[in-house]
Amino acid sequence: MAPAKNNLAEDISARELVISRVVSAPRELVFKMMSEPEHVAKWWGPNGFSTSVEKMDFRVGGQWKHVMHGSDGTDYPNQSTFTEIVKNERICYSHIGGKEDSPCKDFIWTFEDAGPGKTKITMRILFETPSVRDSMVKDFGILDGGNQTLARLDDYLAAAHNKPFVISRVFKAKRSLVFKVWTQQTHLVKWFGPKGFTMRIGTLDLKPGGTFHYCLKTPQGQDVWGKWYFRDVVQDRRITFVSTFSDASGGLTRHPFAPDWPRELLTVSTFEDHPEGTLLTINWTTMNATETEQKTFDAGHDSMRGGWGGTFSVLEEYLAGF
């Protein structure tokens, strides 16, 4: 009987794709973010995608219906049935329908402790045949898409696990215009920065993997360099990037006035329709921060509110000119 079992294992191995990532969050929190629709909708899918969850009946035999919205406007409906659920350990489901018959048939997610406050997430996807699996990797980029999805979950977990700084304002302008002046270099150099600051230099490459390297001049004439590393861009809706202080050569540096400030901040900017125009929300979360850095960040919320409030006021004045 042993050879038959070995052959079965080899068959499954040849047809499956395995993607893993260790995240800085406890297993219970990771499982929660994977099993509750209000959270899944905020991180599910590769870079550039957003997701609407129509139904998520999280139990064995329950249905999960969701639509993934591509950056080009294409919708990808999906329907699955949960086949096994072990709390905080394992979630399995079978894909049963969508825009077209999917070659991805069975999904297995496992969650393992990976040290204090860390979890190893493993996603296994089983395809009909080895050739279908290879084609999905080569022609459709499913491996990259899976890694990007886990990275977005990692970012979302960081925001949930650490105390974020959140600030919003309604601008009396269309969402497309607010997004445009926030993401085009010719506009950013004219308004970005706290009140009294001016942008001396700005180089922008707006795409996942791209950067925005800039220099602000303070009212006292001092240069302050910064850099954004873009992770996700959804036209007119969302920008996700890692924000750091920098130098003229584009390196990563410490805050010039606060040495205990976190070196990296995850920034999520969202743009939503509002009866009076556009609701812009900035969500800042620390990344890989020490205990001292996290305390410095938490204590600086009032100062950040003042800085971002001034920046929003400059943007408001700039938008009024259109």
Do residues 31 and 47 share a domain?
A: yes
**What's the confidence (pLDDT) of residue 7?**
55
**What's the confidence (pLDDT) of residue 10?**
57
Segment 97-139, tens digit of pLDDT: 765 556 668 999 999 999 888 999 999 999 988 898 888 899 8
Domain assignment present for residue 4? The answer is no
Q: Which of 133, 161, 189 is the last residue of a domain?
A: 161
Q: Which of 117, 143, 161 is the last residue of a domain?
A: 161
Q: Is 272 helix (H, G, I), strand (E, B) or coil?
A: strand
Neighbours of 32 (CB within 10 A): 15
Do residues 235 and 315 share a domain?
A: yes
CATH number at residue 119: 3.30.530.20
**What's the confidence (pLDDT) of residue 1?**
46
Do residues 154 and 177 share a domain?
A: no
Domain assignment present for residue 75? The answer is yes
Do residues 122 and 77 share a domain?
A: yes
Q: How far apart are CA 283 and CA 164, in angstroms?
A: 7
Q: Which two tokens stand for residue 288?
A: 């890989």
Do residues 171 and 249 share a domain?
A: yes
Helix (H) or strand (E) holding 197: none
H-type alpha helices, the chain: 2-15, 27-35, 37-40, 130-140, 142-161, 175-183, 185-191, 291-299, 301-319
Domain assignment present for residue 5? The answer is no
Q: How far apart are CA 181 and CA 192, in angstroms?
A: 9
Structural domain count, the chain: 2
Do residues 313 and 169 share a domain?
A: yes
Do residues 149 and 182 share a domain?
A: no
Do residues 111 and 199 share a domain?
A: no
Q: Is 148 helix (H, G, I), strand (E, B) or coil?
A: helix
Domain assignment present for residue 154? The answer is yes
- Which amino acid type is present at position 71? S
Do residues 276 and 148 share a domain?
A: no
Q: Which of 145, 161, 177 is the last residue of a domain?
A: 161
Q: Are 226 and 203 in contact (CB under 8 A)?
A: no
Domain assignment present for residue 2? The answer is no
Do residues 104 and 201 share a domain?
A: no
Domain assignment present for residue 7? The answer is no
Do residues 229 and 119 share a domain?
A: no
Segment 50-105, tens digit of pLDDT: 999 999 999 999 999 999 998 888 999 999 999 999 999 999 999 887 655 566 68
Whole-model pTM: value is 0.68
Alpha-carbon Rg for the chain in angstroms: 22
Domain assignment present for residue 6? The answer is no
Domain assignment present for residue 78? The answer is yes
* Domain that residue 193 falls in: 165-319
Print pLDDT tens along the chain (322 aa): 455 455 545 567 888 999 999 998 899 999 999 999 999 999 999 998 999 999 999 999 999 999 999 888 899 999 999 999 999 999 999 988 765 556 668 999 999 999 888 999 999 999 988 898 888 899 889 999 999 999 999 988 887 777 889 999 999 999 999 999 999 999 999 999 888 899 988 899 999 899 999 999 999 999 999 999 999 899 999 999 999 999 999 999 999 989 999 999 999 999 999 999 999 999 999 988 888 998 999 999 999 999 999 999 999 999 999 9
Do residues 143 and 176 share a domain?
A: no
